[in-house]
A and B are shown apart, each in its own frame.
Chain A
């Protein structure tokens, strides 16, 4: 295809948008609405994900050290735990600290009055990167010489994993549905545009225009509609997000929820919106054209 024609075809595509002003506006509005919901949902998922991951880090594993070992020997085991792939961090906690903590937890309880530090063992408090691999990592820690026992809460880990999985499935489902809705709307707009110009299309076919040449202006039309929708919804999302975070900060004085600033989401959000806009625009127009051209 010659370059001069490309200019003409793009011009035709953009002309189409104004020719079908009302439908174009409707298509953009619906796309914006859908992308806003997709975007907001993504932001929410992103933040909840971070929250869950933080909570995850509170799920600690206790690795007890053989009481025959000296203090120095006990401490040196820490490096062996830390080099394990799935270990986020391993902190040494001496038997003295363990005693203090125990006493603090059971303050005023005379039954434990006679306890001394020697009744406790040195231990490591281990936080994992990925709790899904907990069983494996626990086994690795248990295999380290000098470790006599490992206490891990599998139930809690599984709970978090379930929350994360449900979140992922739900977000994929919601985003998928909304994308399909936008796709259908754009597809219908382009179909209408094609129907409007079915005489022109039949003349083009009659004089020997290739299918690609006939399609391109409509694909351009869908592309521009999708991109305009993406850009508008991106900036709306940005504004809404910041507003929400500000409001929340005013209400939530306890800082229960900490939302990441939108600027931290910028790159993935731009990518999401542009990809969604492109996908909706180009695929939407392409599919409707296919159906139309077969007639």
Chain B
């Protein structure tokens, strides 16, 4: 569960990236996070992953209190939250398979676990035939699938995607959204940051809209038609 209560964030004195965010995302939910550029979406994600600390207010994520989390606990928080970035952040010198194995080894998985888990995940994201390729030999959509696979491979309870379709054409974007929905159907909490109005409307999910560091809309009803 992700819970923000009156969260503010100032990067430097006087600038207010977030000005009092309160929201709650239950386990298993699917929510879009939308808002204009500079409204504070990435800041919210960094607060969830422990990259930043709130200036005031409380942030609870999967049992951790981020406003007072200790440095040593952050890795364990991050194992519960898989992150997908617009720019993929794949390791180009490693194959598709090795990219996933690397993420598993990083948290101390055994080789047998890796051999069992990686093919399962590759199958889930539709890359089962590309396991020996390198990221540069994949299309943009396939690279994003691999990034999603890596976020999933350690079985987090939550996935956060920051503009996962920003670099893709509409058809590929739809495929990626469908994949995220599928993963959500398997029980993973999903928070998707996006600018793509068409997709948001099409999926009819909960929409949390941010503007100038405040929540301006939160609900299932069509935000854009309002």
Q: Which of A25-33, A119-127, A198-206 contacts B (4 or more CB under 8 A)?
A: A198-206
How many whole Å from B78's CB to the nearest CB in chain A?
4
Whether B83 pairs with A213 at a CB distance below 8 angstroms is no
How many whole Å from A269's CB to the nearest CB in chain B?
40
Question: A4 near B: Cβ within 8 Å?
Answer: yes
CA distance A1 to B109 in the complex (A): 10
Residue of B nearest to A214 (CB): B106
In the bound complex, residues from chain A placing their C-beta under 8 Å from that of B82 are 207
- Which one, B78, B91, B110, contacts A208 given CB within 8 A? B78
Beyond A200-B91, A202-B89, whether A207 also contacts B108 by CB under 8 A is no
One digit per residue, 1 when the CB lies within 8 angstroms of any chain B CB and 0 when it does not, for chain A 178-211 equals: 0000000000000000000001101111111111
Whether A208 pairs with B77 at a CB distance below 8 angstroms is yes
Q: How large is the interface on B (under 10, 10 to 19, 20 to 34, 35 or more residues)?
A: 20 to 34
Interface centre among B79, B107, B108, B150 (most CB of A within 10 A): B108
Question: A247 near B: Cβ within 8 Å?
Answer: no
Question: B223 near A: Cβ within 8 Å?
Answer: no
Question: A2 near B: Cβ within 8 Å?
Answer: yes
Whether A203 pairs with B106 at a CB distance below 8 angstroms is yes
How many whole Å from A13's CB to the nearest CB in chain B?
14
Question: A5 near B: Cβ within 8 Å?
Answer: yes
In the bound complex, residues from chain B placing their C-beta under 8 Å from that of A203 are 89, 91, 102-103, 106, 150
Whether B111 pairs with A206 at a CB distance below 8 angstroms is no
Whether B75 pairs with A209 at a CB distance below 8 angstroms is yes
Whether A207 pairs with B91 at a CB distance below 8 angstroms is no
In the bound complex, residues from chain A placing their C-beta under 8 Å from that of B105 are 5, 8
Question: B43 near A: Cβ within 8 Å?
Answer: no
CA distance A71 to B32 in the complex (A): 112
CA distance A204 to B104 in the complex (A): 9
Residue total for A at the interface (Cβ-Cβ under 8 A): 19
How many whole Å from A6's CB to the nearest CB in chain B?
10
In the bound complex, residues from chain B placing their C-beta under 8 Å from that of A205 are 75, 78
Whether B108 pairs with A1 at a CB distance below 8 angstroms is yes
- Name the interface residues of B133-177: CB closer than 8 Å to any CB of A: 150, 154
In the bound complex, residues from chain A placing their C-beta under 8 Å from that of B89 are 199, 202-203, 206
- Which one, B106, B110, B111, contacts A207 given CB within 8 A? B106
How many whole Å from A61's CB to the nearest CB in chain B?
64
Question: B76 near A: Cβ within 8 Å?
Answer: yes
Whether B107 pairs with A209 at a CB distance below 8 angstroms is yes
Whether A200 pairs with B108 at a CB distance below 8 angstroms is no
Binding site for B on A (CB under 8 A): 1-2, 4-5, 8, 199-200, 202-211, 213-214
Binding site for A on B (CB under 8 A): 49, 72, 75-79, 82-83, 89, 91, 102-103, 105-108, 110-111, 150, 154
26 A–B contacts, CB within 8 A, in A order:
A1-B108, A4-B110, A5-B105, A5-B108, A8-B105, A200-B91, A203-B91, A203-B102, A203-B150, A205-B75, A205-B78, A206-B49, A207-B78, A207-B79, A207-B82, A207-B103, A207-B106, A207-B107, A207-B150, A208-B75, A208-B78, A208-B107, A209-B106, A210-B75, A211-B75, A213-B107
